[in-house]
Amino acid sequence: MAKYFDVHPDNPQARSIGQVVGLIRDGGVVAYPTDSCFALGARMGDKEVLDRLRAIRHLDERHHFTLMCRDFAQLGQFVTINNASFRSIKAATPGPYTFILPATREVPRRLLHPKKKTVGVRIPDHTVAQAILAELGEPLVSTTLLLPGEEEPMTQGWEIKETLDHQLDAVIDSGECGTEPTTVIDLSGGEPEVLRVGAGDPSRFA
Provide the residue-wise pLDDT of the chain in tens; the chain has 206 residues: 999 999 999 999 999 999 999 999 999 999 999 999 999 999 998 889 999 999 999 998 778 789 999 999 999 999 999 998 999 999 999 999 999 999 999 999 989 888 889 999 999 999 999 999 999 999 999 999 999 999 888 889 999 999 999 999 999 999 988 899 999 999 998 789 999 999 999 999 88
Is residue 81 within 8 A of residue 106, CB to CB? The reply is no
CA atoms within 13 A on the CB side of 121: 30
Which domains, ranges and CATH numbers included, belong to the chain?
3-205 (3.90.870.10)
Q: The whole model's pTM is what?
A: 0.95
DSSP 179: B
DSSP 8-state code for residue 111: G
**What residues have CB less than 8 Å from 22, skipping those under 6 apart?**
none
DSSP 119-172: EEEE----HHHHHHHHHH-SPEEEEE---TT-SS----HHHHHHHHTTT-SEEE
Separation between Cα atoms, residue 121 and residue 71, nearest integer Å: 11
Question: In terms of DSSP bridges, do strands 30-32 and 170-173 run parallel, antiparallel, or are they unpaired?
Answer: parallel
Q: Phi and psi (nearest 5°) for 176?
A: -55, 135
